[in-house]
Structure 1
Amino acid sequence: MSSLPRNTPDSQGLSAASLDAFVAALDESDQEFHTVTLVRHGVIVLEAEWAPYRLTDRHLLYSVSKSFTSTAIGLAVDAGLFSIDDKVVSFFGPEDLPATISDNLAAMSLRHLLTMSTGHAEDTVQKLQRDDRMVRGFLSLDVEHEPGAPFVYNSGATYMLSAILQKVSGETLLEYLQSRLFEPLGITEATWGSSKEGITFGGWGLSLSTESMAKFGQLLLQHGVWEGKQLVPAEWVEAATAKQVSNAHEGNPDAQQGYGFQFWRGRHNTYRADGAFGQFIIVIPEYDAVLAVTSASSDMQAAQVVFWDHLLPALEGKEVPLVARPERLELPAPTGSVPQAGDGQTYSFGENPGFLQSVRWDADGTGSLTFHTYGPESSEPVSFGPTPGEWRETATATGRIVTSAHGDGEAVVVSVRWLDGPHAVDFTCQVADGQMTVAGQVNVSFAPSEVTIVSE
Structure 2
Amino acid sequence: MNHNEWPIGQERHADSASTDMDLDKLSGLGAVVTSEYSNMNGLVMVRNGSIAHESYYNGYGPEDKHHVASVTKSVVSALIGIAIDRGDIPDEHVNVLDFFPEYDFDRADKDGQRGRITIRHLLTMTAPYPFPDWQEPLDKMCMQSDWVKYALDMLGQNGTIGAFKYATAGAHLLSAILTRSTGKSAREYANEYVFRKIGISEIPDYGMTAFGFEELFGSEVRGWVHDPGHYSTGGWGLTLTPREMARFGELYLNRGKWNHAGVISESWIEKSTAMNPNQYGYLWWLREEEGIRTFSAIGDGGNMICCLPDENLVIAIASSFMVNPSDRWPLIKQHIIPAIRG
TM-score after normalising by structure 2: 0.84
How far does residue 301 in structure 1 lie from its aligned partner after superposition? 5.7
Matched, 1:260 2:281: yes
What one-letter code is carried by the residue in structure 2 that aligns with 1:302?
D
- Residues 241 and 271, structure 1, Cα contact 8 Å, conserved in 2: yes
Q: Distance in 2 between matches of 1:301 and 1:97?
A: 45
- Percent identical pairs in the alignment equals 28
How far does residue 79 in structure 1 lie from its aligned partner after superposition? 1.1
Matched, 1:183 2:196: yes
- Residues 23 and 339, structure 2, Cα contact 8 Å, conserved in 1: no
How far does residue 105 in structure 1 lie from its aligned partner after superposition? 0.5
Relative to structure 1, the CA distance from residue 8 to residue 201 in structure 2 (aligned partners, 3 Å threshold; closer, same or farther) is same
Q: Which secondary structure state, in structure 2, belongs to the residue aligned with residue 311 of structure 1?
A: helix
Which residue of 9, 12, 31 maps to 2:19? 12
- Residues 70 and 298, structure 2, Cα contact 8 Å, conserved in 1: yes
How far does residue 31 in structure 1 lie from its aligned partner after superposition? 4.2
What one-letter code is carried by the residue in structure 1 that aligns with 2:253?
L
1:108-187 equivalences in 2 (<5 Å): 108-122=117-131, 123=136, 125-141=138-154, 143-148=157-162, 150-187=163-200
Q: Distance in 2 between matches of 1:56 and 1:98?
A: 47
Aligned to 1:394: none
How far does residue 235 in structure 1 lie from its aligned partner after superposition? 0.6
How far does residue 124 in structure 1 lie from its aligned partner after superposition? 5.9
How far does residue 53 in structure 1 lie from its aligned partner after superposition? 1.2
- Residues 195 and 202, structure 2, Cα contact 8 Å, conserved in 1: no
Q: Deviations over 1:217-255 (max 9, x none)?
A: 0110010010010111001011111234x33xxxxxxxx
Q: Which secondary structure state, in structure 2, belongs to the residue aligned with residue 274 of structure 1?
A: strand
How far does residue 11 in structure 1 lie from its aligned partner after superposition? 3.1
Structure 2 unmatched ranges of 5 or more: 7-13, 204-222
Bigger helix share: 2
Q: Deviations over 1:166-211 (max 9, x none)?
A: 0111010111111110101111153211000110001100001111
How far does residue 4 in structure 1 lie from its aligned partner after superposition? 6.4
Aligned to 2:216: none
Q: Which secondary structure state, in structure 2, belongs to the residue aligned with residue 62 of structure 1?
A: coil
Structure 1 unmatched ranges of 5 or more: 248-257, 318-456
- Residues 37 and 326, structure 2, Cα contact 8 Å, conserved in 1: no
How far does residue 36 in structure 1 lie from its aligned partner after superposition? 0.3
- Residues 278 and 303, structure 1, Cα contact 8 Å, conserved in 2: yes
Structure with higher Rg: it is 1
Q: Deviations over 1:2-36 (max 9, x none)?
A: 61634323432222211112333222325432110
Matched, 1:90 2:98: yes
When the two chains are superposed, the root-mean-square deviation of aligned CA atoms in Å is 1.9
How far does residue 298 in structure 1 lie from its aligned partner after superposition? 4.6
- Residues 98 and 140, structure 1, Cα contact 8 Å, conserved in 2: no
Aligned to 2:339: 314
Relative to structure 1, the CA distance from residue 124 to residue 97 in structure 2 (aligned partners, 3 Å threshold; closer, same or farther) is farther
Aligned to 1:222: 254
Bigger strand share: 1
Q: Distance in 2 between matches of 1:118 and 1:273?
A: 20
Aligned to 1:380: none
Q: Distance in 1 between matches of 2:84 and 2:265?
A: 10
Q: Deviations over 1:73-132 (max 9, x none)?
A: 0001111222110001111123x2434542110111000010111112433634322211
Q: Distance in 2 between matches of 1:97 and 1:147?
A: 22
1:328-339 equivalences in 2 (<5 Å): none
Q: Distance in 2 between matches of 1:136 and 1:31?
A: 39
Aligned to 2:208: none
Aligned residues: 304
Which residue of 65, 68, 78 maps to 1:71? 78
How far does residue 316 in structure 1 lie from its aligned partner after superposition? 4.4
How far does residue 143 in structure 1 lie from its aligned partner after superposition? 1.6
Q: Which secondary structure state, in structure 2, belongs to the residue aligned with residue 188 of structure 1?
A: coil
Matched, 1:285 2:309: yes
Higher RCO (Cα < 8 Å, 6 or more apart): 2
How far does residue 165 in structure 1 lie from its aligned partner after superposition? 0.7
Q: Distance in 2 between matches of 1:93 and 1:164?
A: 12
What one-letter code is carried by the residue in structure 1 that aligns with 2:3?
S
What one-letter code is carried by the residue in structure 1 that aligns with 2:281?
G
Q: Distance in 2 between matches of 1:17 and 1:97?
A: 63
How far does residue 288 in structure 1 lie from its aligned partner after superposition? 0.9
- Residues 2 and 185, structure 1, Cα contact 8 Å, conserved in 2: no
Relative to structure 1, the CA distance from residue 25 to residue 10 in structure 2 (aligned partners, 3 Å threshold; closer, same or farther) is farther
Q: Deviations over 1:134-185 (max 9, x none)?
A: 111122225212322x211100000000001101110101111111101011
Which residue of 217, 241, 245 maps to 1:209? 241
